[in-house]
Chains A and B, each alone.
Chain A
Amino acid sequence: GQQLNQSPQSMFIQEGEDVSMNCTSSSIFNTWLWYKQDPGEGPVLLIALYKAGELTSNGRLTAQFGITRKDSFLNISASIPSDVGIYFCAGQLMASYDKVIFGPGTSLSVIP
């Protein structure tokens, strides 16, 4: 079935540093989504991308929908301790009503 690859698997950074993580797929996705999950909670949507090439920001977060429709990246600028968590990329193959397929996640740790 469809599979998403996320890198890096984990990262440890100093507070204030910028972070970059990316997601790739062998399939073309119609929608790319980025979620953050804190321990014991459900994932929270950070950014949704609907068009190839689209670049969208949400505060210190910026994400882009790759031109090939097979990849996406998420950048976090000036990281803070509350950025700690698991970041999942996710995609929808068809329209926005389709099921969401999740990547394996990137674990982010921020050292104060």
Chain B
Amino acid sequence: GAVVSQHPSWVICKSGTSVKIECRSLDFQATTMFWYRQFPKQSLMLMATSNEGSKATYEQGVEKDKFLINHASLTLSTLTVTSAHPEDSSFYICSARDPYRERGTQHFGDGTRLSIL
């Protein structure tokens, strides 16, 4: 089945640091990837849609200068949390869509736990 890999799985860093999270589709080419944020005991909230070779589309209320998204290849999208602060601590999950299989169903990575001290 389709596999999506996220790296790192968890990261702890100091306030003010920028953190990069990678999302890779391992056995398919993903023209579209999605980034979600999930706070404890809450649902997944879509942050942005990442399209290969073009600018990401951000959901309302998500700061594009704070959460930089790059989708430079068909198998890799990155999310960079710039100048992270404690309120950015959350579980970040990506998903990737295989347009040629299972009606383009999205497959999710295992998430990245980000803790800002």
Q: Which residue of B lies closest to A44 (CB)?
A: B108
Are A88 and B105 neighbours in the complex by a CB distance under 8 Å? no
A103 CB–B CB distance under 8 Å? yes
Nearest residue (CB) in A for B94 is A42
Q: What is the total number of residues of chain A having a CB less than 8 Å from a CB of chain B? A: 22
Residues A103 and B46 in contact, CB atoms below 8 Å apart = no
B31-57 interface (Cβ within 8 A of A): 32, 34, 36, 42-46, 49
Once A50-B103, A100-B95, A101-B46 are accepted as A-B contacts, the answer to whether A42 and B108 lie under 8 Å apart by CB is yes
Contact (A102, B44) CB under 8 Å given A1-B60, A40-B111, A97-B97:
yes
B34 contact set on A, CB distance < 8 A: 99-100
Q: Count how many pairs of residues, one from A and one from B, have CB atoms less than 8 Å apart in the complex.
A: 56
Interface residue SS majority, chain B: strand
Give the interface of B toward A (CB within 8 A).
4, 6, 32, 34, 36, 42-46, 49, 60, 91, 93, 95, 97, 99, 102-111, 113
Which chain A residues have a beta carbon within 8 Å of chain B's beta carbons? 1, 33, 35, 40-45, 48, 50, 88, 95-97, 99-105
Report yes or no: B108 in contact with A43, Cβ–Cβ below 8 A.
yes
Instruction: Please tell me if the beta carbons of A48 and B105 are within 8 angstroms of each other in the complex.
Output: yes
